[in-house]
Structure 1
Amino acid sequence: MATWRSSSSLLRLRAPLAPALRRARVPIRGFATPTPSAELKKTGLYDFHVAHGAKMVPFAGYSMPLVYGDVGQVASHKHVRTEAGLFDVGHMVQSLFHGPTTTPFLEWLTPSSLAPLAPYSSTLSVLLNEKGGIIDDLMITKHAEDAYYVVTNAGRRERDLAWFAARLDEWNAGEQGKAGKVEMTVLKKWGLLALQGPTAAAHLQLLTSFDLSQLTFGKSAFVPVEGFNLHVARGGYTGEDGFEISIPPSQTAEVAALLLDGEVQLTGLGARDSLRLEAGLCLYGTDLDEETGPVEAGLAWVVGKDRRETGTFIGADGVRQQLKEGPPRRRVGLVVEGAVAREGAKIVDPATNDVLGAVTSGIPSPTLGTNIAMGYVRNGLHKKGTQLGVEVRGKVRGAKVVGMPFVQTRYWRGV
């Protein structure tokens, strides 16, 4: 199977494209910033979005689609839950790490167990600072012991890239670097599309001879898609089955048009946020930050079992302390009565009104028809069924701690 270094540009196979397939058919918290539009970056699909009636809004320094035409957020959300949606996530930072000591280098930067990870397998992980706080959450895909594909958040671009550069210099100049240096390549202006929903596989299968049933959740491959050789990873951030597809800059719009065929619907940031929250997934900057560690964030599972006691990684002391002693607070899911609890709403003791924590994300769930929220509470109050209160517009609303995800995930793990 090809690696990125042996096909670094993911060259097109250039088979003729079926004419019918070449024709594309035709404020939320955290998404708007005061950045002037003239300063916003654009993904390779900006003109494509505008042509399809997108309402563009600032997000993570980019001009990104919120909704399309007269299709509202809730309708888009429900379409992804029942059919399939296509998201532009090309604002995310895609990078390649390669060199003889790449595996130990990335195991120094993150708490994940990467050495035993099979080739073309992925894991969610976290980039930690010296205290064990989360600099960013990231997706790591192993192609080989000396080659990895990593996706990080657009809103953390400058912080992440500076951190990577400094740690690379430190690693390559030290004893570890004597065994072989590690290099990093940022895939500038590359496209990244997320095809998500229960019919996503059926739609993509029409465009490729590759048997997608063999590509289970967390696996990736180079897949021929109507004349293009593309890196396709099974996964996503909606809780549904789906794929994230990395595309060279010159091919992004053409591939997007191909994927938009049939019942696939362009989907914007609004639905992406509500879908990920129903799936119990974090958004960096609201649910995660550098003062929050993986244990309190409910992400202790990203810390490899073989690394909890003896693993050498940045921030290990802080992580181990919380693993042994318990964290001061816990991320929880809440169902809130009567009103939507948005980011910043106080979580309180319903009897005394004492503040116990705060909501980080909250929406009226389009799937469940109830108000759901995510937030942090004092350790010990995180058990399912715990009755709490949330202050919304000066009134305390009843809230109950529930398990996450709020909506059952449907990742494809094989027959």
Structure 2
Amino acid sequence: MTDLKQTPLAALHRELGAKMTAFAGYQMPVQYPRGIIHEHLHCRSRAGFFDISHMGQCLVLGPAAAEAIEKLTPGGIADLPVNSQKYSVLTNAQGGVIDDIIVTRLADGVGLIVNAGCKDKDFAYLREKLAGTATFRELADRALLALQGPEAAAVLAKFSSEATALNFLQVCDTNIAGAACTVSRSGYTGEDGFEISLPAETAERVAKVLLAEDGVEPIGLGARDTLRLEAGLCLYGHELNETITPIEAGLGWIFKKGHTDFPGAESILAQRQNAVGRRRVGLLVEGKIPVRDGALLLDNADSEVGIVSSGSFSPSLNRPIAMALVDQRVATTGIRLKALVRNSAVELTVCRLPFVPHRYHKPGR
């Protein structure tokens, strides 16, 4: 793994006994000594600390920045309030997804967080599309941390009252343990929590301060994946890619009403209006055999109707679960399907997503 990039917390991960793995060109912790199931359940019950510094961070600045980004995505960006965030996708001319992104509206433009495995192509694409319209700036000197779980707010309240006053998808600038940070109330677990962007040189100090708090434990990529799967959240390269449209991926809720000026709009909006093609669904797996991504799905007539996009054991439900892209005609709760696993047929039932209810901090809750 000598050719892999390292995050600013690489030494800390080794100190904590992490098992490291290659991921998106980085050396990343997949789990710590107590294991993935423990980490997963700890995040669901207390607070989990994640190093997500491999993600790409950038700024798009200028008076036309928000409008320029809106022309690259079906989501509404121009009318997003300052210091608010929105989940969206960058689409290609065929209607597929280049990447899914988090957009933050700033007073002088927008900030973007993109996936680690896509950031090189994303940044090249953005530089090309924004040339002459807005200023693009990669934030290569920033780290990104996450604190997730039902006790995350109580922990962060000891360091920043501004951060814990936020609602879901709101952002503020604050100070944590002497480090200037930009904090959003957001995450990738389905739990209440925060993501903290800060200078790379202060990341280890802030990480150690948070990890020293009662109830906070480090969480690796293994549990991050099972947490997001239970929350029914897409993973690029699985539920999303350049051949899967946002409609197929079940992301119709991100669309701005009346917005038609974005790449692939004609085919995407036609698909949305006509309710054709495939759809992302949840699957409850019968028995104890996990059904992994790539498994073919069959209907009761043994006709192929889709493919599993993500699958794993759910620690919260104590059973295997999966998400899949299936033909529209079988994308209905309660329909029984079969997955081919090592030449055996495993029974599954289509279910609603998410598998575990979201617990985001929203007004009135």
Q: Could you state the TM-score of these two structures normalised by the residue count of structure 2?
A: 0.97
In structure 2, what is the Cα distance between the partners aligned to 1:394 and 1:209?
55
Q: Deviations over 1:4-50 (max 9, x none)?
A: xxxxxxxxxxxxxxxxxxxxxxxxxxxxxxxxx12111111111111
User: Out of 70, 84, 95, which is 1:132 matched to?
Assistant: 95
Deviates more, 1:229-238 or 1:158-167: 158-167
Q: Shift of the alpha carbon at 1:112?
A: 0.9
2:112 counterpart residue number: 150
Q: Deviations over 1:256-290 (max 9, x none)?
A: 11111222001100000000000000110112110
Q: Deviations over 1:152-177 (max 9, x none)?
A: 001012211111121123xx2xxxxx
Q: Does 1:283 align with 2:235?
A: yes
Q: Shift of the alpha carbon at 1:209?
A: 3.9
Q: Shift of the alpha carbon at 1:234?
A: 0.1
1:388 counterpart residue number: 337
Q: Does 1:161 align with 2:113?
A: no
Q: Deviations over 1:155-211 (max 9, x none)?
A: 012211111121123xx2xxxxxxxx3001111131100100000000010112436
In structure 1, what is the Cα distance between the partners aligned to 2:269 and 2:77?
19
Secondary structure of residue in 1 paired with 2:59: strand
User: Out of 80, 84, 94, which is 1:117 matched to?
Assistant: 80
Contact kept in structure 2, 1:44 and 1:189, CA below 8 Å: no
Secondary structure of residue in 2 paired with 1:388: strand
Q: Shift of the alpha carbon at 1:226?
A: 2.6
In structure 2, what is the Cα distance between the partners aligned to 1:393 and 1:293?
30
1:299 counterpart residue number: 251
Larger strand share, 1 or 2:
2
Secondary structure of residue in 2 paired with 1:239: coil
Contact kept in structure 1, 2:294 and 2:309, CA below 8 Å: yes
Q: Does 1:50 align with 2:14?
A: yes
Contact kept in structure 1, 2:284 and 2:350, CA below 8 Å: yes
In structure 1, what is the Cα distance between the partners aligned to 2:124 and 2:79?
28
Letter in 1 for 2:110: Y
2:328 counterpart residue number: 379
Q: Shift of the alpha carbon at 1:396?
A: 1.2
Q: Which runs of 5+ in 2 are unaligned?
A: none
- Counting matched residue pairs gives 362
Q: Could you state the TM-score of these two structures normalised by the residue count of structure 1?
A: 0.85
Q: Which runs of 5+ in 1 are unaligned?
A: 1-36, 173-180
Secondary structure of residue in 2 paired with 1:404: coil
CA RMSD of aligned residues (A): 1.1
Q: Deviations over 1:308-353 (max 9, x none)?
A: xxx311221121111122231011100011221001111101x322
Q: Does 1:227 align with 2:191?
A: no
In structure 2, what is the Cα distance between the partners aligned to 1:189 and 1:406?
36
Deviates more, 1:386-395 or 1:190-199: 386-395
In structure 1, what is the Cα distance between the partners aligned to 2:313 and 2:2?
33
Q: Shift of the alpha carbon at 1:115?
A: 2.1
In structure 1, what is the Cα distance between the partners aligned to 2:58 and 2:198?
13
Deviates more, 1:153-162 or 1:272-281: 153-162
Letter in 2 for 1:341: V
User: Out of 17, 27, 39, which is 1:63 matched to?
Assistant: 27
Runs of 4+ in 1 over 6 A off after TM superposition: none
Identical pairs, percent: 43
In structure 2, what is the Cα distance between the partners aligned to 1:318 and 1:344?
26
Contact kept in structure 2, 1:295 and 1:327, CA below 8 Å: no
Letter in 1 for 2:159: L
Secondary structure of residue in 2 paired with 1:380: helix
In structure 2, what is the Cα distance between the partners aligned to 1:58 and 1:120?
34
